[in-house]
Amino acid sequence: MGGLNIDLKDKKTLYAFIMTLVILVAGYTVYTYVWVPFDEERKGLESRLESATNELKKIESKRHRVAELEMQLAQAEKDFQKLKEMFPEEEKVPLRLQDLYSVLRSSGVQIQKFNPEGRSEREHYIENRYSIAVNSGYHMLGYLFAEIANFNYPTAITNLRLSRYSGIAAEVQKAESHGWTPITMSVNFNLTTYTSKKVGK
């Protein structure tokens, strides 16, 4: 079996050889200077795209977290305002009087006295005391205390003293003739409300 003979003197053979060589050089040039840079740039773009996608996911997750934090902050501000209403920095005597007179009217008791009795400072809050005297029936008094317990700020009732109403006979007679609930007792008690102490005070 003979070897491969290439006759470079033959024009066709020489032309085919030159064309093959040109094609190989052109292919190598395209591969080296076009395909390789293109492939590297493609890989770089894919890497940057993946990185950008991951960063976008992080931003999206943080955006949801920011929205949650904004909602929590808004709720915290509402809760703080409620606390400020419950524990104001200054006692609002006119509002306390208004609240008390409102429940007194609805309960039907007769107020005899409403006197501020001073304040006592504690470690974190201040107690504001009021001395109250009313004439009332049993059920009226229960309703009054229930309404005071439903105030939108903390209260305490202490030193409760009950005594027979001096005009009970006349009240019973009126109640029998007019059909209303009679005043049967005189009631004295202390009402305490609370205010916050200013920071640094």
The three-state secondary structure class of 56 is: helix
Write down the pLDDT at residue 156.
Answer: 92
Q: Could you write out the DSSP letters of every residue in 99-132?
A: HHHHHHHHHT-EEEEEEEEEEEE-SSEEEEEEEE
Between these two residues, 194 and 7, which has the higher pLDDT value? 194
Share of the chain above pLDDT 90, in %: 11
DSSP 142: H
Closest CA to 114 of 167, 194, 193: 193
Name the band, by pLDDT with cuts 50, 70 and 90, for residue 159: very high
Write down the pLDDT at residue 86.
Answer: 59
Q: What is the mean pLDDT of residues 123-133?
A: 88
Q: Could you write out the DSSP letters of every residue in 61-107?
A: HHHHHHHHHHHHHHHHHHHHHHHHHHS-SS--HHHHHHHHHHHHHHH
Write down the pLDDT at residue 1.
Answer: 46
Cα 97 to Cα 107: distance, rounded to the nearest angstrom: 15
Host H or E run for residue 15:
helix 11-30
Name the band, by pLDDT with cuts 50, 70 and 90, for residue 37: confident
- CB 158 within 8 Å of CB 190: yes
Highest mean pLDDT out of 62-71, 90-99, 145-154: 145-154
Within a 10 A sphere around the Cβ of 78, how many other Cβ atoms?
10
Cα dihedral sign for 122, 125, 126, 130?
negative
Closest CA to 181 of 146, 135, 145: 135
